[in-house]
Chains A and B, each alone.
Chain A
Amino acid sequence: MTENTQPSAAGEVGTARVKRGMAEMLKGGVIMDVVTPEQAKIAEDAGAVAVMALERVPADIRAQGGVARMSDPDLIDGIISTVSIPVMAKARIGHFVEAQVLQSLGVDYVDESEVLTPADYAHHIDKWAFTVPFVCGATNLGEALRRITEGAAMIRSKGEAGTGDVSNATTHMRTLRDEIRRLTSLPEDELYLAAKELQAPYELVKEVATTGRLPVVLFTAGGIATPADAAMMMQLGAEGVFVGSGIFKSGNPAERAAAIVKATTFYDDPDVIAKVSRGLGEAMVGINVDDVPVPHRLAERGW
């Protein structure tokens, strides 16, 4: 676990602090999935703090099936040159060469994502070896801490991407919150066993027990389709929101995107959420997670 920090001409780049710090600057914001430069522009104009460049939104990956991979570099370039907000892109779990390519394209954050087909069923990417920061999905505290151990500088709940069904994201946020709260209540001599049970390094477990929070920013993702969904995730402790299919699979993407941005800022003010929820047209139709056959559930990828 060595950090690939290089002294650049201007100072030190790729440090844990600039990687984690980048995520701090996204807090309270909405990161939107986009598949074209035009969509990226709509997202930027709606107030997104960043866009996630990909070839197909999760709902389409789910519908069309097949192996889902990193996007075409031309597409990513097109989006990078169209917007001035940060651009993220997805690499397959364990596919360190896709991540190398994304870094070389100048992507601002790599999402090592279960939405794409995993490339390695044993190992995740060694994220310390990169200058570009990584965000990874997690369904519980142990998984989050293992990803942080591998160098993730930001965590998001997984949810069940491409469904428009927020129930799994709710479960993951509640699980993370409950497990963190439990750690803070344990006597110090029980943290060793807790680390063993969480399958995570003792030092990280101790840090979470002391501070009551993850050492990196925690966003939520997977199934968020309405302003109220976003606000609920924020009330459950998310520090920001990823919206995948929920925007561009809806009737009026520009207005829905702007409404989700506002609801994320005023997540604890029902009057504002009510106001921005009016007249948005149809939300994405969605599918119930229960109707998705278990082998097709994305949240169960990664470990």
Chain B
Amino acid sequence: MSPTIGVLALQGDVREHVAALEHEGARAVGVRRRSELDAVDALVVPGGESTTIDKLLRAFDLFEPVQERLREGMPAYGSCAGMILLADRILGGIEGQRTLGGVDITVRRNAFGRQVDSFETDLVIDGVEDSRDAPVHGVFIRAPWVEEVGPAATVVGRVEEGPAAGRIVAVRQGPVLVTSFHPEVTGDTRVHRLFVQIVRESR
């Protein structure tokens, strides 16, 4: 049976993630309430504004329940703001900003700069089908990068060229995957394919 994957639908590009997950054979549903969280096998935290999503998670009593599911081993995938929210540590957040945690990394918010610095570039992501021959096209929008990786996490993608070359932009820790970029806006669903596969394997 196809796994049911929730997309945290408090704010951000929810529709794009839902479409990519469904394209990869998962059942995708929006999650804004505790009862909706309880009904999913895995959770995607979309791109958006991390400070807004953090506040809404807390205002609607979802923060602790999501954290608890993550601690119990729920698979999760986060792009951009989602990466920030799934990181154990954050730099450049606003006062009092919290993260759900789940991946042993330190992210730097808005690390690549403002919107005029937002960019696209090709990437090789370990675990993504054929990405050596057909690179994943990374779309970075006011994107964070990973400043430090702890022993529990594994780097699966870096920027290849330019002054940001070597910057870590994709990390996996068990069933949790995070990327600085937005595969959901490109129409290439291979990163979501990898995540759906992680979800299937963890059931």
Contacts and interface: CB of A to CB of B under 8 A. Distances in A.
Contacts of B12: 25, 27-29
Interface in A1-53: 8-15, 17-18, 21-22, 24-29, 44-45, 47-50
A14 B49 contact: no
Nearest to B97: A84
Interface in A48-69: 48-50
Given A28-B9, A28-B11, A8 B51 contact: no
A261 B114 contact: no
Contacts of A132: 115-116
Interface stretch (B67-75, B98-106, B156-164, B191-199): B156-164
A18 B162 CA distance: 18
Contact of B112 (A10, A45, A265, A266): A10
A237 to B, nearest CB: 13
A48 B182 contact: no
A201 interface: no
What range describes how many residues of A lie at the interface?
Answer: 35 or more
Contacts of B118: 13, 18, 21-22
Given A11-B120, A13-B117, A47 B48 contact: no
A261 B49 contact: no
B142 A27 contact: no
Query: Is chain B's binding surface mostly helix, strand, loop or mixed?
Result: loop
Interface residues of B, number: 47
Contacts of B13: 21, 24-25, 27
Nearest to B96: A45
B175 interface: no
A13 B119 contact: yes
A86 B142 contact: yes
Interface stretch (B36-44, B52-60, B146-154): B52-60
A109 interface: yes
Contacts of B9: 28
A108 interface: yes
B122 to A, nearest CB: 8
Given A10-B119, A29-B11, A84 B48 contact: no
B92 interface: yes
A278 B81 CA distance: 31
B176 interface: no
Interface in A176-203: none
A102 B110 CA distance: 19
Query: Counting chain B CB atoms within 10 Å of each CB, which of A8, A44, A83, A132 scores highest?
Result: A8
A24 B56 contact: no
A195 B186 CA distance: 28
A261 B109 CA distance: 22
Contact of B162 (A11, A21, A133): A11
Given A10-B159, A11-B162, A131-B116, A47 B14 contact: no
Contacts of A85: 49, 51-52
B143 to A, nearest CB: 10
Contacts of A86: 49, 114-115, 142
Contacts of A13: 116-119
B59 A24 contact: no
A21 B182 contact: yes
21 contacts: A8-B162, A9-B161, A10-B121, A10-B163, A12-B120, A13-B119, A14-B116, A15-B119, A15-B120, A21-B182, A25-B141, A25-B142, A25-B182, A27-B12, A28-B10, A47-B51, A49-B11, A49-B48, A84-B110, A86-B142, A258-B59
Interface of A: 8-15, 17-18, 21-22, 24-29, 44-45, 47-50, 83-86, 103, 106, 108-109, 131-133, 258, 261-262, 265-266
